[in-house]
Structure 1
Amino acid sequence: MIEPFIAKFLSPTKAFRRFSILLAIYHSAEISQQLIGKQTHLSSSMVNNYIKQLKEEGQISVIGTTNRNQRYHLTASGHHELIESLVMYSAEIIRLYSSAKNEFATLFDRFYKEGIRKVVLFGAAETAEVVYAAMRRSDIKVVGVVDSDKGKQGEKFENLIIQPPSSLRSFNPDAVIVTSFGQQEDICRAVENLVGDEIPIKRLSMIGSMEEAA
């Protein structure tokens, strides 16, 4: 289920709202307007307006007289719009992903000029996947990935195995890149306690900033 999220730079468009509602109905014909609103982050009145519009356009059919007993079904036209929207949405996400990788790759070129050749990523989340992909476009090699989450340790990350933070020194990296955006200060202190001043710590949120350059 694709759900919208609270974004600072990307605002949901009308097309995305329609897509979200159609997708919610596709997954469950018995879904209530209240639950649709919760899943799509839309108000009840806005969901109601979209439902009316989609019904009038022939994208959905509605059975029932009240919100409590109404059931929704995608028509052939509605299913076509859903698939078309999914393809367009996926294409836009891929373009954004590609742009992010290109920007990170450009920033990592500066690391190379600083003499950094081998790095360890701290944080095995989605951001780390983007960083790893960007690193493959640079001359810097990711030699390890560590995470404090014991549930992730031992799992595969690309061609690497996620290790506990205590293994940082064993990789003998030129730098540690903190790819997690949450609790960065705590993570940096933990890394400093493990490696001291011998290995530079690069916070992803500071890459390219004046503080990082200092």
Structure 2
Amino acid sequence: MVNNYIKRLHEERLIRVEGTTNRNQTYHLTDAGHKSLREAFLAYSAEIVRLYGAVKTEISEILMGFFMEGVRSVVLFGVAETAEVVYAAIKQTPLVVDAVVDSDEKKQGKLFNGLVIQAPDTLQWMHPDAVVITSFGKQEEIYTSVKTLVPSKVKIKRLSEHPVVLEA
């Protein structure tokens, strides 16, 4: 399969092959190959941006659902890529982020969108309407941990309870 790809790229003058045997051959992008790579990268980047926008819109709708349930202030639990999207989506809602927490000690004390990342045990002194679990991994473990730290009136929300539908 790889040989077929190399042959096709060579025929399309996107790469040039140097060397006389399989052991000493090297492959180099031509100017046309560099141009094709840039175009493919830009198309890929545009698709990523489109998907990011679609996911942000879907998460905004989920968060608006939380608002409609009476949630006004939230604490985000989990500070990774998903939290970045959730934080951007929250800006499109009337929700207020009171704090961010993460169980990774290496993240604690650092800033996340202007908020200091705190340890999970600080939840016991906070009074948000809800804690939003922004991590898709270890959700059950996080849920169980949060449940022991917050009063029963504080809702614990998972994004995964709400399906995200992306349009083709």
Residue 106 of structure 2 corresponds to which residue in structure 1?
A: 151
Residue 123 of structure 2 corresponds to which residue in structure 1?
A: 168
Within the alignment, does 1:137 sit opposite 2:92 as a pair? yes
Residue 47 of structure 2 corresponds to which residue in structure 1?
A: 92
- Of the candidates 30, 42, 45, which is equivalent to residue 75 of structure 1? 30
Asked if 1 retains the 8 angstrom alpha-carbon contact of 2:75 and 2:128, the reply is yes
1:69/1:85 CA distance change after superposition, 3 Å: same
| Residue-by-residue CA offset, 1:25-80 (whole Å, 9 max, x unaligned) | xxxxxxxxxxxxxxxxxxxx2x3221211111110112224444322211100000
Q: If the length of structure 1 is used for normalisation, what is the TM-score?
A: 0.72
Question: Any residues of structure 2 matched to 1:112-127 within 5 Å, and which?
Answer: 112-127=67-82
Residue 156 of structure 2 corresponds to which residue in structure 1?
A: 201
Within the alignment, does 1:56 sit opposite 2:11 as a pair? yes
Tell me how far apart the structure 2 counterparts of residues 82 and 119 of structure 1 sit (CA, whole Å).
43
Q: By how many angstroms is 1:169 displaced?
A: 3.3
Tell me how far apart the structure 2 counterparts of residues 66 and 120 of structure 1 sit (CA, whole Å).
61
- Match for 1:103: what amino acid? E
Tell me how far apart the structure 1 counterparts of residues 68 and 126 of structure 2 sit (CA, whole Å).
21
**Secondary structure at 1:120 match in 2:** strand
Work out which structure has the larger RCO, using CA pairs closer than 8 Å and 6 or more positions apart in sequence.
Answer: 2
Residue 177 of structure 1 corresponds to which residue in structure 2?
A: 132
Q: By how many angstroms is 1:170 displaced?
A: 3.5
| Residue-by-residue CA offset, 1:178-213 (whole Å, 9 max, x unaligned) | 11111111111111111142311001111369xxxx
Residue 41 of structure 1 corresponds to which residue in structure 2?
A: none
Q: Which has the higher helix share?
A: 1
- Match for 1:175: what amino acid? A
Count of residues in Structure 1 that have an aligned counterpart in Structure 2: 164
Q: If the length of structure 2 is used for normalisation, what is the TM-score?
A: 0.90
Q: Which sections of structure 1, spanning at least 5 residues, go unmatched?
A: 1-44, 210-214
**Secondary structure at 1:72 match in 2:** strand
Tell me how far apart the structure 2 counterparts of residues 145 and 70 of structure 1 sit (CA, whole Å).
53
- Match for 1:124: what amino acid? V
**Secondary structure at 1:73 match in 2:** strand
Q: Which has the higher strand share?
A: 2
Tell me how far apart the structure 2 counterparts of residues 66 and 167 of structure 1 sit (CA, whole Å).
64
Identity across matched positions, percent:
54
1:153/1:48 CA distance change after superposition, 3 Å: farther
Report runs of 4+ in structure 1 exceeding 4 Å deviation.
Answer: none
